[in-house]
Structure 1
Amino acid sequence: MERQAAYLRNALFDQGYLDEQFLQLEDLQDETNPHFVEEVVKLFYTDSVRLIQSIELTLKNTPRDFEKLDKIMHQFKGSSTSIGAKKVKKECTQFQEYCNVGNVEGCIREFQEVKQEHAALKRKLENYFQVFHVVHVACKRSSLSHLHNDYSDAK
């Protein structure tokens, strides 16, 4: 199971979904807060849903407010950067480039790409965290078993 968790994690980097920022988040995780990274990622997804809805509403308005779209996407890109969501960040940048030239079709098309990469990363991270939980629980049980055996041997 540990190998599967390592494989899933490495695949996220190899496939370009994550960058070194994710590693920095992992460095902040320890035994006192073993789910720190997952909690940060959950906050990202909670916030990003709000931003996606805001972009969808703004894209429906005519005339299009490209300045507002760029501002919202800038927030989304910043959040993506903070968790190391490399592909999402790349698509956010492309969306902003279309905003800068006032290309409505480009914005709409690229927004679909942003949402697609966002959803793909979410699925992949959920799979990884699910396996991570199993490994973490197994390691805890193993440690507790060793402690129990050590205590029994001491009697």
Structure 2
Amino acid sequence: MVTVTLLSGLAGGLVATILMTVFMLTLGDDSPPPTAALWAKFVGSAGPEAYVPQGMVLHLLYGVGAGAAFALALPLVVGEVSLATAVALALAYAVGLTIVGAVVWMKGVLGVDPDRATAMQFGFFHLVYGLVLGGFLGAGVV
């Protein structure tokens, strides 16, 4: 059993987001991330292509925050945290993040209806995030 803290959640969220981003950049379709579209819509005056760096920073902040939130909730849900429970629940959390990202942010806020391939990639990238986050927290790295 490991102790999960806010610090471990922040660090785990950072590592998980970086690895998720590596997968996005390697396997993605080279289009701007949805966070660049979010920046373009609410802050910028150009299209999403102009705000990829800002979108990536915003996505990193989301990932770190989501890692912290998960780390704070995990011990409340399971009591004693093991690697298996941390990974399993982080994968479930990633599915939830995928649904919120696709339905609330992409469809609801941005008005984007991703095609099946894009939605599958979006889900896969978030599963990578969940796997890394759960592994990081469950292994007690920090």
Shorter-chain TM-score bucket reads 0.3 to 0.5
- The structure with the largest helix share of the pair is 1
- Structure number with larger C-alpha Rg: 1
Q: Give me the TM-score of the superposition, normalised by structure 2.
A: 0.37
Larger RCO (CA within 8 A; separation ≥ 6): 2
